[in-house]
A and B are shown apart, each in its own frame.
Chain A
Amino acid sequence: MFANKPLIQCALFLVLLCAVFSFATPYFLSLDNMMSILSAGAVIGLLAVGATFVIAAGGIDLSCAGVMALASVVTAYALKNMGVTNPAVAFLLAGLTGAFIGGLTGALINVTRAPSFIITLGMMSIARALALILAGGIPIYGLAENITALGQGRVFGMPAAVLFLLGGFVLAGYLLGFTRFGRHILAFGDSAMAAHATGIRTNLLKLKTFALAGFFSGIAGFVFMARTNSGDPSAGMGYELMAITAVILGGANLFGGRAHLLGTFMGVLCLGVLQNGLTLLAISTFYQVLFVGIVLLLSAFLRRFSARAS
């Protein structure tokens, strides 16, 4: 039965949202607007990719938005003050900054054996603070055009930011669904003890998972930077929770063992469509926040219902 598949539920929900908005406002259903939804979702989407891995492994990452801000500041700083001009170098720098902080997070979790919630909560503050210190509290603005083109330009009619988003999801989908690494993450998320007993090197696995999540947060920082033409130390405040919301909407199990990148992608789209549609309808912000809450509760309810039905 379709109802016991969280993925299909999420897809149906998305279609329903789109239908309602297409009916309610003539501006919604246009290619231009779809692209605008995708570009607006690029940053949160890439954060959600990282969050999917962490949640699949039974952890939680509260530091992703802070890491993203740090990566955007480090990269913008290097571009403005250290003579970096090559976009590929900038891209790598952002990704590696994220991966470094992520790896550090993983190592700290291994050493302290503390829950990821606590360690990433600490890393969230540290990453944010490092970004503020490096940038002196204000955004680093005004990057070269070859960089901003990667966030604002179009490739074959498709906004570049959207390509990063899609590329991130395809790569991550491959890693989680079709590699041994991905299977190990899911097995570890399902039961850490069992995974350990089968010979998976769980400490290394955790380190790699958080480094990978950090890498995607770093890429999110790069896209943010290219899109807004600035490295901003207070970028994306609160985005970590949006990313987690998207992952949960996409049918992942918060306690690990089950996660799907396609689901996360649709979760991101649900949030993006909701925000875009309500904005086009000029519905007050206060209600937008309310709707996001209702949607999340609704998905929890649906899942409970379908679990019982099956």
Chain B
Amino acid sequence: MKKLLKLVVFFIAKKLIFLAVFLFLTHGVAQAAEQKEYIFILKALSNPYWQALRDGAVETTEAAGIKATILSPTNDAAKEEHLALCETALQKKPAFLFIGPATTAIGLECMKRAQEKGIRVADIDATVTLAEATDAKTDMVFTTGADNSAIGEKVAEYVANHTPDKPHLKVLVIEGAIGSPPGMLRPEAFKKKLKELKPDTEIVNSISGDWDRMKGMQIATDTLTRTPDLDVIFAANDMMAIGAAEAVKLAGKTEQVMVIGVDGTPDARAAILNGTMTASLTQLPYLIGKRAVEMAFETEKGTLKNKAEYAQMIILTKDVLTENKEPLLEYVR
């Protein structure tokens, strides 16, 4: 019985392999698809920011009758995978390639390779600046996305405007993953601007929370133990801010501590509405995706005016969300 089973399995396996070899040998001359295609290389698709950007990009592309293909790395942190994705995407010779590169270096390398093949590339995560592209002699069609330094500055202005009677602020800053540009640039710009606006501000700690909710919570808990009279927590993304807000709530200090995050994710909006979080700055990723595709259309028509266009931003607070008067709220997803 066992022997019979073995024979049958081997027989099927052999057939399959012959079929496979046959297909492999005969299929080399298949025709490429004719439809015009835009390819988007994004970062972690498990992040609501990239999901919203994807939706904006795909809907706008498909509305114009163009095929939209989304690629993203399995492991965001490995970085090299972004380059491999770029090279693979170029095999398909898309009409336009959009990339949110892991680093400036990866972005520029992707652009160089695309240039060799005559394919247009744009940066959709404001990672490569026009000056950097020019320096590297690469042809970046345009760059759009959220300016990380502007995010930090805008939050600092919000904090300063909402604490007029407190000259001596005690602030905790939760940075993103070490080595990631938004994780470092946002907190840096925030601290610099806040020091300018309120010179007596004390940054009690500025530490990486690895974009992680649990870590955000842990850092906030520890800091509240050491600095019970903390005034403000700024986290470089909503994930960490929500964690920090939970810690503040557990310590019974929701009224005392302002918690602000970045991204305006659905979770954060719920936390703002129920009062655990104070505010979240959103870069309107849906709009970024939409605008990126529109800029590609403009490039093809030759009407693109500005090669660098940074995202509009709004700060979501309970008032903004409940009053619903802000026109850009339409793009909050």
Contact = CB atoms under 8 A, between A and B. Distances in A.
Given A16-B17, A22-B27, A228-B80, A137 B71 contact: no
Given A15-B17, A16-B20, A228-B83, A284 B45 contact: yes
B24 A235 contact: no
Interface in B40-82: 45, 69-75, 77-80
A127 B75 CA distance: 20
B217 interface: no
Interface string B80-102: 10011101110110000000000
B33 A26 contact: yes
Contacts of B71: 279, 282, 285
A26 B45 contact: no
A40 interface: yes
A22 B24 contact: yes
Contacts of A232: 79, 103, 105, 179
B69 A282 contact: yes
Contact of B84 (A19, A23, A275): A275
A276 B31 contact: no
A139 B179 contact: yes
B157 interface: no
B109 interface: yes
B77 A141 contact: no
B77 A237 contact: yes
B313 to A, nearest CB: 24
Nearest to B103: A139
Given A20-B20, A22-B27, A132-B178, A279 B78 contact: no
Given A132-B179, A137-B184, A228 B23 contact: no
A280 B89 CA distance: 7
A238 to B, nearest CB: 5
A237 B10 CA distance: 40
B77 A238 contact: yes
A285 to B, nearest CB: 5
A15 B13 CA distance: 13
A280 B91 contact: yes
Contacts of B6: 309
B131 interface: no
Interface residues of A, number: 53
A236 B88 contact: no
Contacts of A227: 80, 83, 109
A279 B20 CA distance: 20
A141 B70 contact: no
A215 interface: no
B271 interface: no
Interface in B96-148: 103-106, 108-109, 112-113, 136
A31 to B, nearest CB: 10
B250 interface: no
A239 interface: yes
Interface in A26-42: 26-27, 29-30, 32-33, 36, 39-40
A15 B22 CA distance: 10
A15 B20 contact: yes
Contacts of B31: 26
B32 interface: yes
Interface string A127-154: 0000010000111011000000000100
Given A15-B17, A20-B20, A234-B179, 7 more contacts: A36-B88, A40-B83, A40-B88, A137-B178, A141-B103, A238-B75, A238-B77
- In the A-B complex, the 6 residue pairs with the closest CB atoms: A237-B77, A19-B20, A230-B105, A40-B84, A26-B30, A19-B24
Interface of B: 6, 9-10, 13, 16-17, 19-24, 27-28, 30-33, 45, 69-75, 77-80, 83-85, 87-89, 91-92, 103-106, 108-109, 112-113, 136, 177-179, 181, 184
11 contacts: A20-B20, A23-B23, A26-B32, A33-B91, A141-B104, A227-B80, A232-B79, A232-B179, A238-B77, A275-B74, A292-B74
